[in-house]
Amino acid sequence: MAGKCGVRRVLIAIMCLWASAAAAADLRIATRTDLTSMDPHFHNVAPNVSASGHIFETLIDKDAKLKLRPGLAVSWTLISETEWEFRLHPGVTFHDGTPFTAEDVAWSIRRVPTVPNSPMLFSMYSKLVKDVRVVDPLTIRLITEGPAPTLLNDLSKLFMISRRATEGKASSDFSNPAVAVGTGPYRFVAWVPGDRVSLAANPTYWGGREPWDTVILRPIGNDTARAAALISGDVDLIEGVPVADRQQMAANPKLSVFETDSIRVIYIHLDTNRDRSPTIADVNGQPMDKNPLKDWRVRQAMNIAINRQGLAERLLNGQAKPVGQLTPEFLFGASPDLPAPTYDPAKAESLLKEAGWGQGFSLRLASTNDRYPQDAQVAQAIAQMLTRVGIKTQVDAMPASMLFSRGTKLEFSALMAGWFSDSGEASSSLVSMLATYDPAKGMGTANRGRYSNPKLDEALALSLRTMDDSKRAALIARAVEIGMRDVGMIPLYAMINTWATRKGLTYDARTDELTLAMGVRGQ
């Protein structure tokens, strides 16, 4: 009898091992854009953040709907108006086996604003921190310049790295798995630019092991090729379902589509600063010493010359919503009094004449051609709309990596791109894109038009010191209204985020559009 029980136990153990092996799987994800660096502090752009989110973690985490929850910090306390204390999760180790401690937190936060040659620094999320004090290995205190109501949101965007592995290292060194060690559910294995990022499950992950043994992130910029890769079975999930294929893919019994409203808004930056702007010319294509974009009437003419509803319905197949501000209206601090501008080409022509530009001028609009749904096609449609009212517009479409790099060098007079307010409130778009450029303070780090308005800066600064949520929301909305009524930028539409998977998989669709293997599960 004992022998039979022993045999039975052996058989059960073997069956469990078989079941475990069967459950083990690889996950292949097709992304729209390749990342630009494995350094999680180098470039604040969605593809980088998505990749980093598998490897590195933050003190404060966010779920798919941007609700705050504990991350590497298990708790936090406001000690005084300018001092926060964070208790770290015990027993957490980096992928190389070394313990995660408060020293690593201090190192990470202090490093963020010092990363050289960054196209878009993460310093907007560390700007409120005046000092970092290590209390003990599992306790750290952050001292802020003043009241810091957005600190918890900000910390949800700052990845923690290993001081031991990264001290003295350059951003380029993070392509080495020995440097890019995090505490996350996946370990970094390799990055082949333009081809793939390879990740492996972290077997000692403090949060519990993920169901995927390996994860491959493959950049496939071409919409048709990305959809074909899913249909053929070459990948298991794609982000950015092509707008032309969405209905067909939803009806395919072998596929599933998941979507949610996005916090990303597509917009146009305008050079409102320089007298001689690089991609503006007269109607004959000759350079000018006068920049028409410095005139509010010209900016407003452009604003109302664009048929947002037409773009959303015809080019984007209903997968976008026209907006009149830099965030969707449901976000904290968004103004309820800024509907999408009414399309009015006749009024646009009148404003141009009133501003002295009745004869028109020439403009080159820079845009991506591989980053957002139908991005180059949308830019071409906008160019035609502007040309109809007298602004002769041509499009320079290019890969996102090139546009962001050149845009940071201020090589354009008008630039179409996208921004998502990943803090969960409207202040982050203002801090990044419309606040007066001051990188030392983490302000205007993505202000590629160098727009500056003291009234906006004043309202924004006051909101960032106001702890009362209702008062802060009103101040943010006031700053938003100042910037939008002055047409500091031209908001176009908010996206609807879409993913598609092979049948049998689900994806927890994220408002922040990040594509994370941690949100993929088998049914």
- Per-residue model confidence (pLDDT) at position 523: 75
pLDDT digits (tens, 9 = 90+) for 61-84: 999 988 999 999 999 999 998 999
What is the pLDDT confidence band of residue 453, given thresholds at 50, 70 and 90?
very high
Give the range among 7-11, 38-42, 148-152 with minimum mean pLDDT: 7-11
Query: Averaged over 10-15, what is the pLDDT?
Result: 34
The answer to whether residue 133 scores a pLDDT higher than 50 is yes
pTM: 0.76
Q: Distance (Å, rounded) from C-alpha 218 to C-alpha 47?
A: 11
What does the H/E/C string look like for 255-281? EEEEEEEEEEEEEEEECCCCCCCCCEE
Query: Averaged over 198-215, what is the pLDDT?
Result: 96
- Per-residue model confidence (pLDDT) at position 22: 34
**121-to-172, 194, 224, 354 alpha-carbon distances in Å:** 16, 23, 33, 40
The answer to whether residue 12 scores a pLDDT higher than 50 is no
Collect all residues with Cβ–Cβ distance below 8 Å to 428 and sequence separation of at least 6. 124, 150, 153, 421, 422
**What average pLDDT does the structure give for the chain?**
92
The H or E element spanning position 243 is: none
pLDDT digits (tens, 9 = 90+) for 389-436: 999 999 999 998 899 999 999 999 999 999 888 777 899 899 999 999
Look up residue 308 and give its two tokens.
């947002």
Query: What number of other Cβ atoms are within 10 A of residue 209's Cβ?
Result: 12
> Tokens 């005139």 — which residue?
295
- Per-residue model confidence (pLDDT) at position 244: 85
Query: Averaged over 184-194, what is the pLDDT?
Result: 97
Q: Distance (Å, rounded) from C-alpha 212 to C-alpha 28?
A: 10
Query: Averaged over 139-166, what is the pLDDT?
Result: 94
The answer to whether residue 225 scores a pLDDT higher than 80 is yes
Indicate the burial class of 310 (C-beta count within 10 angstroms; 0-12, 13-18, 19 or more).
middle
Query: Averaged over 153-168, what is the pLDDT?
Result: 96
The answer to whether residue 315 scores a pLDDT higher than 70 is yes
Query: Averaged over 183-207, what is the pLDDT?
Result: 97
Indicate the burial class of 509 (C-beta count within 10 angstroms; 0-12, 13-18, 19 or more).
buried
Q: Is 287 helix (H, G, I), strand (E, B) or coil?
A: strand
Q: Distance (Å, rounded) from C-alpha 199 to C-alpha 215?
A: 5
Q: Which residue has the higher pLDDT, 469 or 200?
A: 200
Query: Averaged over 350-357, what is the pLDDT?
Result: 97
**251-to-245, 247, 248, 449 alpha-carbon distances in Å:** 10, 6, 5, 43
Percentage of the residues of the chain whose pLDDT score is greater than 90: 79
How many degrees, rounded to 5, is the angle at CA 428 between CA 89 and CA 174?
55
- Per-residue model confidence (pLDDT) at position 180: 98
Query: Averaged over 499-506, what is the pLDDT?
Result: 97
The answer to whether residue 373 scores a pLDDT higher than 80 is yes
Q: Give me the CATH topology for the region 262-495.
A: Dipeptide-binding Protein; domain 3 (3.10.105)
State which of 3-7, 335-339, 509-513 shows the largest mean pLDDT.
335-339
Look up residue 467 and give its two tokens.
């702890």
Q: Which residue has the higher pLDDT, 381 or 425?
A: 381
- Per-residue model confidence (pLDDT) at position 24: 47
Candidates 3.90.76.10, 3.30.1300.10, 3.40.50.2300, 1.10.760.10; correct CATH number of 34-182?
3.90.76.10
**Domain residue spans in the chain?**
34-182, 262-495
Indicate the burial class of 236 (C-beta count within 10 angstroms; 0-12, 13-18, 19 or more).
buried
The answer to whether residue 2 scores a pLDDT higher than 60 is no
Query: Averaged over 217-236, what is the pLDDT?
Result: 95
- Per-residue model confidence (pLDDT) at position 120: 79
Q: Which residue has the higher pLDDT, 346 or 511?
A: 346
- Per-residue model confidence (pLDDT) at position 485: 97
- Per-residue model confidence (pLDDT) at position 4: 40
DSSP assigned state of 293: G
- Per-residue model confidence (pLDDT) at position 62: 93
